[in-house]
Amino acid sequence: MAHTVHAEMVASVHSVAVAVGDSAEAGTILVVLESMKMEIPVLAEKAGTVVEILVAAGDVVQEGDPLVSLTH
């Protein structure tokens, strides 16, 4: 079963902290967003394996846009 992590705000993607195939525990930083010169880490809600990265550094995302998909 896949779970997709979404952006909670309009922001730029500062960096992607994981790669496809990486294991992530709950609380692992997946992506770092930047908004108004603040860096906002986006964390895994549950443990899983990264199966798809849907953004890259420099992308601009809107609230609700998918960022990373994990399997559990």
Question: What value does the CA radius of gyration of the chain take, rounded to a whole number of Å?
Answer: 11
Whether the predicted pLDDT of 1 surpasses 90:
no
Region 18-22: mean pLDDT is 98
Number of domains in the chain: 1
pLDDT at 72 over 90: no
In this prediction the pTM is: 0.93
Read off the CATH number of the domain in which 42 is found. 2.40.50.100
Domain assignment of residue 43, given as a range: 2-71
- Cα–Cα distance, 8 to 71 (Å, whole number): 20
